[in-house]
């Protein structure tokens, strides 16, 4: 269904063997950074990608619309845009739309129509659903049912920007130096087992949850089956999608604290659980029994983000690189130390997170109140 700027493999390989690059930064105090910072960091890791996908997620960029859902949309043609707008008018009581600002760039081609809408749900149509569940249903409908339309971001006061191309070129194309955010995540992608297309680049998003991922999820089949039983439909043709939906299910819908979410996806080994004190052993046994199909097998380093929180997590035996660093109120995550030192040479601390042990960064209370005045908690 989705062509949306697909790009054929220029190397003629059945499978491309290359690296992925991850960079993220967040200020605990809510201090904002220009998009120039993640662009420079990703440019430093240029050789980790191959130009078949790159993107960014930014939090705090829409302070003028803090209560509205920001839908970032890709359209193959004008009729898809018209059909989508007709659908949105049926379900949302307020709706402002505009083109997403871009500039011509030699490294970016075959761009779809890029538009963003700021939407408030029609409360008369919720029928007992939360606003978030209502929005997820609308996104799933558009991505499944409207040919040539794709929602690639749908959170409040945040947005995803992605394309087929090198990540630094994607940033220049979207003019990200014009944005200020308290949290940025970025990714250079090559498709491990899937065709390159605009919607298939990272970050992946549902509501304000975003995921960037280096690695390969070999448990994709069982993960996908479990998620589809809970109403999530995997239409983006990549294994990273299941991470995004798993986090939304576990954290938002089931209310698990984020450290427990991480222990579902990268749990302790059974031999380690058997050696735990009884209460801890019972907890981890329960998590593995109930959520066993959401265990993420395979090599991975991921950065999750949502309003007020950023989480980095590697697989249990560290098959993919991940480096963390701090400077004053800012925490940096990257695939390598070099891009961090490029944008912040004088670091207070640098460390390599242990496999399966998350690095969790949160806005302080005062910053949270400013960034998200509606008062929705970032931490379950």
Q: Whole-prediction pTM value? A: 0.91
Torsion of CA 281, 362, 348, 202, to 10 degrees: 90
Q: Label residue 124 by pLDDT band (50, 70, 90).
A: very high
pLDDT tens for each residue of 238-281: 788 899 999 999 999 999 999 999 999 999 999 999 999 999 99
Alpha-carbon distance of 152 to 73, in angstroms, equals: 6
Average pLDDT in the chain: 90
Residue 312: what pLDDT? 97
Q: Label residue 121 by pLDDT band (50, 70, 90).
A: very high
Q: What is the mean pLDDT of residues 345-374?
A: 88
pLDDT tens for each residue of 131-156: 999 999 999 999 999 999 999 999 99
pLDDT tens for each residue of 310-321: 999 999 999 999
Q: What are phi and psi of 95, to 5 degrees?
A: -155, 110
Sign for the CA dihedral angle at 29, 34, 37, 43 comes to positive
Using a 10 angstrom Cβ sphere, with 0-12 exposed, 13-18 middle and 19 or more buried, the burial of residue 366 is exposed
Alpha-carbon distance of 323 to 344, in angstroms, equals: 14
Check if the beta carbon of residue 97 is closer than 8 Å to that of residue 27.
Answer: no
For residue 204, give the nearest of 193, 213, 217 by alpha carbon. 213
Residue 237: what pLDDT? 65
183 catalytic residue (yes or no): no
Residue ranges and CATH numbers for the domains of the chain are 21-371 (3.60.20.10)
pLDDT greater than 50 at residue 14: no
Residue 3: what pLDDT? 46
Given the residues 20, 183, 234, 262, the one annotated as active site: 20
Residue 239: what pLDDT? 80
pLDDT tens for each residue of 178-204: 999 999 999 997 655 566 778 888 899
Q: What are phi and psi of 85, to 5 degrees?
A: -65, -40
């Amino acid at each position: 269904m989705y062509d949306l700027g697909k790009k054929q493999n220029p190397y003629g390989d059945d499978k491309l063997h290359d690296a992925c690059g991850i960079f993220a930064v967040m200020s605990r105090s809510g201090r904002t950074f220009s998009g120039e910072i993640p662009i420079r960091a990703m440019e430093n890791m240029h050789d980790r990608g191959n130009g078949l996908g790159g993107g960014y997620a930014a939090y705090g960029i829409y302070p003028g619309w803090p209560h509205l859902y920001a839908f970032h949309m890709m359209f193959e043609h004008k009729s898809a845009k018209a059909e989508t707008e007709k659908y949105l008018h049926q379900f949302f009581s307020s709706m402002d739309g505009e083109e997403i600002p871009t500039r011509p760039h030699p490294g970016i081609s075959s761009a779809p129509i890029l538009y963003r809408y700021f939407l408030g749900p029609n409360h008369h149509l919720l029928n007992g659903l939360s606003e978030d569940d209502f929005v997820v249903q609308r996104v799933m409908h558009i991505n499944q049912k409207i040919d040539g339309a794709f929602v690639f971001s749908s959170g409040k006061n945040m947005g995803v920007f992605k394309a087929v191309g090198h990540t630094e070129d994607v940033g220049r194309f979207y003019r990200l130096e014009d944005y200020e955010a308290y949290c940025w995540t970025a990714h250079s992608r090559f498709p491990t087992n899937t065709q390159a297309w605009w919607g298939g680049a990272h970050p992946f998003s549902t509501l304000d949850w975003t995921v960037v991922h280096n690695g390969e999820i070999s448990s994709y089949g069982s993960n996908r089956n479990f998620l589809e039983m809970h109403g999530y439909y995997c239409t983006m043709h990549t294994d990273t999608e299941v991470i995004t939906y798993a986090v939304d299910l576990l954290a938002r819908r089931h209310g698990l604290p984020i450290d427990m979410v991480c222990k579902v996806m990268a749990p302790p080994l059974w031999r380690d659980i058997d050696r735990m004190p009884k209460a801890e052993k019972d907890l981890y046994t329960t998590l593995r029994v109930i959520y066993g199909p959401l265990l993420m097998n395979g090599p991975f380093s991921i950065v999750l983000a949502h309003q007020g929180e950023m989480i980095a997590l590697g697989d249990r035996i560290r098959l993919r690189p991940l480096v963390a660093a701090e400077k004053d109120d800012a925490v940096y995550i990257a695939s390598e130390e070099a891009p961090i030192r490029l944008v912040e040479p004088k670091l207070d601390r640098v460390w390599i997170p242990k496999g399966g042990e998350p690095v969790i960064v949160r806005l302080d209370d005062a910053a949270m109140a400013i960034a998200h005045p509606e008062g929705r908690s970032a931490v379950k």
